[in-house]
Chains A and B, each alone.
Chain A
């Protein structure tokens, strides 16, 4: 795998479930990955894939009816599952910070921006009032908010959408965390603002050496910001690799279908591929009921997570030890297409 010998974050065998009544609903199933310091990793999936749950788990923000059922989340050598709530709260915001999708709902509408940012610094015990104020103004200037000294007196609704998102980024960066989790940070913005925010995030990442976990439903957006990407489906990671190889040679049938269903200016006249059916969990592969290449082994047995060149994929097609029968040629040859 690409990450180095001393990764910042190590996630192994992570399973998270929500209790609804007496039933446990699995949101994450055996999720595994590493993030290096300063690296950006993209998590791509549609609604229900578990990508947001993953972000919340890493931030220790799971709701009360959710819990980590199994696995380990190790940040800078510390297993977050073994920590006491006070210690977790120390880490939250300081080592790991989060940027949410809709800044209007994640910023307190009744408090001035300056006050909210001050709260963050106070909660982590930083310095005296004057140094905090300077720190806040510097953070806002760094994300491109003009006239920061006056803007801190304003309320969230007085900012435009793009500006509010910049405020969220400033708040996340203020404590200089080692990892920032961005959950759909640009989905609520127009494409022209999205481009600005992504460029800003890349610039800040280079400057501060922060690792970024970028969660999105859009593979193209992730492609512009991240080095590597994980594709999630129904709570499982189905493919992992560096961005260019996943985009140019997607391995998993779901990844291929996802790429083929995006309308694109450069592929204007092609009919969009759609993925028939809905997510249906069963004994075998979660994607089996919607996969064009499914065979009986796919429905009976969950596929293993195997290495294919420099990537990894959870699919029987690429597992030489599985009962899957590949006709004519290797699954990696060009003739094999969705």
Chain B
């Protein structure tokens, strides 16, 4: 799948979001020009804080949000403006989503068995081509006796597994997983990540893994895309980003990920971002990150950086990425802070 300059804006008047009529008023630019390639069989980790637009991007790809501009090419075809029910429905067989709040995504009045067969009913899949409920439960390591339960009778981990099983029912090629381990205990989260990786090996799935926690994507992402206020700050092979991040925001996210080993040796990260992510209704001028960047310089406030190549398939948007990479960049005391030990 290729995302080309994808934009998703929200206006207060919902008609404007649908492209009807012209209006004044500032839209919320949740996704504001995203370029990204998803290669078959790969896992792309989309990381960023809440408010960065990553969930909106995921929802736009599956058609749950309207696209304001740009192209989404799936196997060469532009699916961006699939408005008609039939075309969108056909797409859903190939692109599915695992939702962040699993319990909320399962209708509370339906039993698991019905929920798992629902995709087949909606897409009118002939019985011979369906997986049985027991099959689907088995795919996610759940016993067949879970089929009679209602969602409220499931634990957090079980509900998550049902969400995964349902997403896989139609054998999609691309699965968008939104915060797959949110709300789960450490050991339950580990099981889910292992399961996702096993399913990927078994069915040749492509994942877009959306999360704010770099520890989660570190597990099996091939490519990392770092998103901030609707734009990608850095995209590149996971190994390169983890070992040598070129963007200050990537570095801050890495240092914020809780790790027993670094907590031991560093007792707190060296780079603490101050403040919170600004509202996407009013993003900062020029480089969007300049209000929180520990390395901010005057040019950052006046000129928007353009994407620059760091290496093959590795792109960054920062005026000073070379200095960040080499370690020459020194935090200025006004925005970023060095934590005291």
Residues of A within 8 A of B (CB): 46-47, 160-163, 190-196, 198-199, 202, 217-221, 223-224, 244, 247-248, 257-259, 261-268, 271-275
Residues from chain B with Cβ under 8 Å of A163 in the complex: 276
Question: Which stretch from B112-120, B168-176, B262-270, B283-291 is at the chain A interface?
Answer: B262-270
Question: Which stretch from B25-33, B103-111, B251-259 is at the chain A interface?
Answer: B251-259
| Measured CA separation A77–B283 after assembly (Å) | 54
In the bound complex, do residue B187 and residue A223 qualify as a contact, i.e. CB atoms below 8 Å apart?
A: no
Question: Which stretch from B121-129, B146-154, B188-196, B295-303 is at the chain A interface?
Answer: B188-196
Residues of B within 8 A of A (CB): 49-50, 156, 185-191, 193-194, 212-216, 218-219, 238, 242, 252-264, 267-269, 272-274, 276, 339
| Measured CA separation A259–B259 after assembly (Å) | 10
User: Can you give 7 contacting A-B residue pairs, CB < 8 Å?
Assistant: A190-B212, A191-B212, A193-B276, A194-B258, A218-B258, A263-B189, A263-B190
Q: A193-B276, A217-B185 are known; give 5 further A-B pairs, CB within 8 A.
A: A191-B257, A199-B272, A268-B238, A274-B194, A275-B187
| Measured CA separation A198–B269 after assembly (Å) | 11
Determine how close the nearest CB of chain B comes to the CB of A267; give it in whole angstroms: 8
Residues from chain A with Cβ under 8 Å of B216 in the complex: 263
In the bound complex, do residue B187 and residue A264 qualify as a contact, i.e. CB atoms below 8 Å apart?
A: no
In the bound complex, do residue B263 and residue A274 qualify as a contact, i.e. CB atoms below 8 Å apart?
A: no
With A263-B219, A264-B260 already in contact, the answer to whether A196 and B274 are too (CB < 8 A) is: yes
| Measured CA separation A190–B257 after assembly (Å) | 9
Determine how close the nearest CB of chain A comes to the CB of B260; give it in whole angstroms: 4
In the bound complex, do residue A218 and residue B218 qualify as a contact, i.e. CB atoms below 8 Å apart?
A: no
Residues from chain A with Cβ under 8 Å of B255 in the complex: 195
In the bound complex, do residue B190 and residue A268 qualify as a contact, i.e. CB atoms below 8 Å apart?
A: no
With A191-B253, A263-B193 already in contact, the answer to whether A46 and B185 are too (CB < 8 A) is: yes
In the bound complex, do residue A162 and residue B276 qualify as a contact, i.e. CB atoms below 8 Å apart?
A: yes
| Measured CA separation A303–B195 after assembly (Å) | 34
Q: What's the dominant secondary structure at chain B's contact region?
A: helix
Residues from chain A with Cβ under 8 Å of B156 in the complex: 47
Residues from chain A with Cβ under 8 Å of B264 in the complex: 223, 244, 247-248
Residues from chain A with Cβ under 8 Å of B267 in the complex: 224
| Measured CA separation A72–B236 after assembly (Å) | 56
In the bound complex, do residue A196 and residue B263 qualify as a contact, i.e. CB atoms below 8 Å apart?
A: no
Determine how close the nearest CB of chain A comes to the CB of B239; give it in whole angstroms: 8
| Measured CA separation A162–B212 after assembly (Å) | 15
Residue in chain A with minimal CB distance to B185: A46
Can you list the 8 inter-chain pairs with the closest CB atoms, starting with the nearest?
A220-B258, A261-B190, A223-B263, A46-B185, A191-B256, A272-B190, A263-B219, A265-B218
| Measured CA separation A224–B265 after assembly (Å) | 10
In the bound complex, do residue A266 and residue B276 qualify as a contact, i.e. CB atoms below 8 Å apart?
A: no
Determine how close the nearest CB of chain B comes to the CB of A257; give it in whole angstroms: 7
In the bound complex, do residue A264 and residue B212 qualify as a contact, i.e. CB atoms below 8 Å apart?
A: no
Residues from chain B with Cβ under 8 Å of A259 in the complex: 260
Residues from chain A with Cβ under 8 Å of B190 in the complex: 261-263, 272-274
Residues from chain B with Cβ under 8 Å of A257 in the complex: 187
Residues from chain B with Cβ under 8 Å of A161 in the complex: 50
With A223-B263, A264-B259, A265-B259 already in contact, the answer to whether A192 and B49 are too (CB < 8 A) is: yes
Determine how close the nearest CB of chain B comes to the CB of A327; give it in whole angstroms: 27
In the bound complex, do residue A266 and residue B186 qualify as a contact, i.e. CB atoms below 8 Å apart?
A: no
Determine how close the nearest CB of chain A comes to the CB of B138; give it in whole angstroms: 17
In the bound complex, do residue A265 and residue B263 qualify as a contact, i.e. CB atoms below 8 Å apart?
A: no
With A162-B276, A192-B256 already in contact, the answer to whether A265 and B215 are too (CB < 8 A) is: yes
Residue in chain B with minimal CB distance to A218: B258
Contact partner of B186 (CB less than 8 A), chosen from A162, A261, A268, A271, is A261
| Measured CA separation A272–B218 after assembly (Å) | 12
- Quick one: which of B188, B189, B258, B276 has the most chain A CB within 10 A? B258
| Measured CA separation A25–B212 after assembly (Å) | 37
Residue in chain B with minimal CB distance to A247: B260
In the bound complex, do residue B187 and residue A268 qualify as a contact, i.e. CB atoms below 8 Å apart?
A: no
In the bound complex, do residue B218 and residue A160 qualify as a contact, i.e. CB atoms below 8 Å apart?
A: no
Residues from chain B with Cβ under 8 Å of A202 in the complex: 268
Residue in chain B with minimal CB distance to A224: B263
Contact partner of A258 (CB less than 8 A), chosen from B186, B193, B194, B257, is B186
| Measured CA separation A272–B216 after assembly (Å) | 11
Residue in chain B with minimal CB distance to A220: B258
In the bound complex, do residue B242 and residue A268 qualify as a contact, i.e. CB atoms below 8 Å apart?
A: yes
In the bound complex, do residue A221 and residue B258 qualify as a contact, i.e. CB atoms below 8 Å apart?
A: yes
Residue in chain B with minimal CB distance to A162: B276
| Measured CA separation A107–B65 after assembly (Å) | 32
| Measured CA separation A202–B213 after assembly (Å) | 22
Residues from chain A with Cβ under 8 Å of B339 in the complex: 199
